[in-house]
Amino acid sequence: MAAKKLGNFTGNDIELCRTTNHNAGNQTVQALMDASIPFTKNCKKIPFFKRLQYNGAEQMWVISINPHRYGQARRVIDQIESTYRKRLMLSNY
């Protein structure tokens, strides 16, 4: 019996943004949920000797989305408050 696929892009999500700021990540997630855009939010540990580059942060949050929803997600991020948007590192897909 063949395994079911969840969509055409199973496992092919692209990175939307990264942040070390917990509040900016939560604000972004809330905006994406309000717009009904599916996403995944993963945590990456920052190595001890690289933490100086990230102002001492121990972890980085990475938000990924389906490639077909990238334009819609970027428009949603553009509407987030500028204080949170400045703390996001957006990808250039």
Q: Can you tell me the mean pLDDT for 43-51?
A: 91
When pLDDT is cut at 50, 70 and 90, the band that residue 4 belongs to is: very low
Identify the pLDDT of residue 11.
66
Q: Where are the domains of the chain?
A: 14-90
pTM: 0.79
| 1 neighbors 23 (Cβ within 8 angstroms) | no
Gap between the Cα atoms of 93 and 90, Å rounded: 9
Best CATH choice for the domain 14-90 from the list 3.30.200, 2.60.40, 3.30.70, 3.40.50: 3.30.70
